[in-house]
């Protein structure tokens, strides 16, 4: 969608308030109901539906009435919210022309109050040219459901953090200025993408410099994963600048060596074809062993020292946290295997207490407020028989005939108590009343109910 900032001039505070309300509602709604937008916006004089109609005319929101009447933000509305926030913070005051477009983002020129020019990158995941985000990127991590606006926000946050950290460690990257939602503002690089360059004064020096960047990143624990001629800027003095960082992973990633070799292959192939460097003998056989690669100038992943820095740990790069999670899961499984016996003992003890409490609950009422005569001795006998049965271990299964008959009676008692408990829980879910205590149930008007039947059955024991 084309960014037309002219509309931004004519939007009022109420328009941005309703836009923000739709954004807040999309945290747990794919389509935000109109009533919820009105309730979140809380305009003083009303008119939320009139504002939504105006936003719909400028394509800042999308209306959907397939299941219910609701709205959702479009990328243009999300752009306006991010730009408005940046302008209020004083990051820039004007938006200029579009200077770049990719499968995941658009790049525009922006101007500060003093006239200096910056670059604004708007992430736009979900385009038809690149929809395999879930399999190609790790923005989701443990999440299952997502929308494209939220994924774009995660990508912008990740790129901003990587750019800040790499700049602090001396890497040739743009200066990260500010980040909000899916928008990242950075310094403007005065150069050209390497793919547009046809001639270099010293291609060998540039080639060695770019390979040094790949090795330097790996020494700090990171792999770019998209290191090619499209993501390398070069100026008139042949100074190299690295861009595009959301897809970076850790050297501890399970596919780290494959990503590293792919980045190296991209550089070797590009320089051998574009600048006719004699690199064919190093890339003709991609299945060379590591010993053969160590003897050549081609960098080898296993020979790189990865103790210079730990940026993957500081930035929680993809692969590092996954490895730690696997180790943690393995440790938890081992702990579960070791604690099986103790868990069984605790579970049996809890069952003993629950059954004893159920036996105590047999002090039921024949009439409200009066204990049934002759039940005290039976209850005491049942308590002793249950406690005697539960105190024996499971492996001692040799009982005489009298004890087996008592165990059968106890099993029937426990079965009836469990049945009573299930019925009481079902009654609570249906809105009925349970018989948890003596005063919790009172038969009004002599009306028979499901609970009174249970009382009569238990009193007959």
Catalytic center residues: 226
Pairing of strands 249-250, 70-73: unpaired
CA–CA dist 105, 130 (Å, integer): 11
Q: How far apart are the first and last CA of the chain?
A: 77
CA–CA dist 171, 220 (Å, integer): 11
> Phi and psi for 68 in degrees, rounded to 5?
-155, 170
Coil, helix or strand for 63?
strand
Which residue is listed with tokens 């007959």?
A: 460
CB atoms within 10 A of CB 429: 8
CA–CA dist 98, 86 (Å, integer): 18
Bridge partners of 184, per DSSP, are 121, 179
User: How many CA atoms does the CB half-sphere of 163 hold within 13 Å?
Assistant: 24
Widest Cα–Cα separation across the chain: 109
DSSP letter string over 208-253? HHHHHHHHHHHHTTEE-S--SGGGEEE-TT--EEE---TT-EETTS
DSSP one-letter code for 122: E
CA–CA dist 211, 219 (Å, integer): 13
257-to-253, 261, 408 alpha-carbon distances in Å = 8, 6, 65
Beta carbons of 188 and 109 less than 8 angstroms apart? yes
User: What are the structure tokens assigned to 258, written together?
Assistant: 């494959």
CA–CA dist 286, 119 (Å, integer): 38
CB atoms within 10 A of CB 422: 10
CA–CA dist 383, 390 (Å, integer): 11
CB atoms within 10 A of CB 38: 18
CB atoms within 10 A of CB 60: 26
């Amino acid at each position: 969608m084309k960014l037309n900032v002219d509309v931004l001039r004519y939007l009022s505070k109420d328009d941005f308030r309703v836009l923000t309300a739709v954004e807040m509602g999309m945290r747990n709604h794919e389509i935000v109901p109109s009533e919820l937008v009105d309730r979140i916006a809380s305009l003083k004089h009303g008119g939320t539906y009139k504002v939504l109609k105006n936003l719909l005319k400028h394509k800042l929101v999308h209306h959907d009435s397939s299941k219910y009447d609701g709205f959702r933000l479009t990328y243009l509305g999300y752009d306006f919210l991010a730009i408005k926030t940046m302008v209020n913070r004083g990051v820039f005051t004007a938006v200029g022309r579009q200077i770049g477009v990719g499968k995941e983002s658009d790049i525009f020129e922006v101007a500060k109050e003093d006239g200096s020019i910056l670059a604004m990158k708007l992430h736009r995941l979900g385009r038809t040219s690149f929809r395999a985000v879930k399999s190609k990127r790790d923005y989701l991590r443990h999440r299952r459901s997502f929308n494209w606006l939220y994924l774009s926000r995660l990508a912008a946050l990740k790129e901003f953090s990587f750019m800040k950290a790499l700049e602090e460690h001396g890497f040739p990257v743009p200066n990260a200025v500010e980040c909000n939602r899916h928008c990242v503002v950075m310094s403007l690089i005065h150069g050209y993408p390497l793919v547009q360059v046809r001639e270099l004064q010293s291609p060998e020096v540039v080639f060695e410099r770019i390979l040094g960047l790949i090795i330097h990143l790996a020494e700090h624990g990171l792999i770019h994963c998209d290191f090619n001629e499209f993501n390398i800027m070069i100026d008139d003095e042949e100074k190299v600048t690295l861009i595009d960082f959301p897809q970076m992973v850790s050297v501890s990633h399970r596919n780290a060596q494959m990503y590293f070799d792919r980045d190296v292959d991209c550089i070797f192939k590009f320089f051998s074809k574009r600048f006719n460097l004699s690199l064919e003998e190093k890339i003709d056989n991609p299945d060379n062993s590591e010993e053969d690669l160590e003897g050549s100038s081609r960098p080898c992943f296993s020979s790189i020292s990865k103790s210079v820095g730990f940026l993957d740990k500081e930035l929680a790069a993809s692969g590092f946290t996954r490895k730690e999670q696997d180790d943690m899961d393995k440790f938890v499984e081992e702990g579960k295997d070791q604690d099986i016996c103790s868990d069984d003992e605790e579970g049996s003890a809890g069952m003993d207490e629950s059954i004893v409490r159920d036996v105590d609950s047999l002090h039921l009422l024949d009439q409200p407020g009066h204990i049934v005569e002759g039940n005290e001795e039976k209850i005491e006998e049942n308590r002793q028989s249950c406690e005697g049965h539960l105190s024996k271990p499971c492996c001692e299964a040799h009982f005489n005939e009298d004890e087996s008959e008592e165990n059968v009676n106890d099993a029937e008692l426990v079965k009836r108590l469990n049945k009573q408990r299930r019925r009481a829980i079902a009654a609570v879910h249906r809105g009925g009343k349970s018989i948890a205590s003596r005063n919790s149930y009172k038969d009004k008007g002599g009306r028979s109910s499901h609970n009174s039947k249970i009382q009569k059955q238990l009193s007959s024991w």
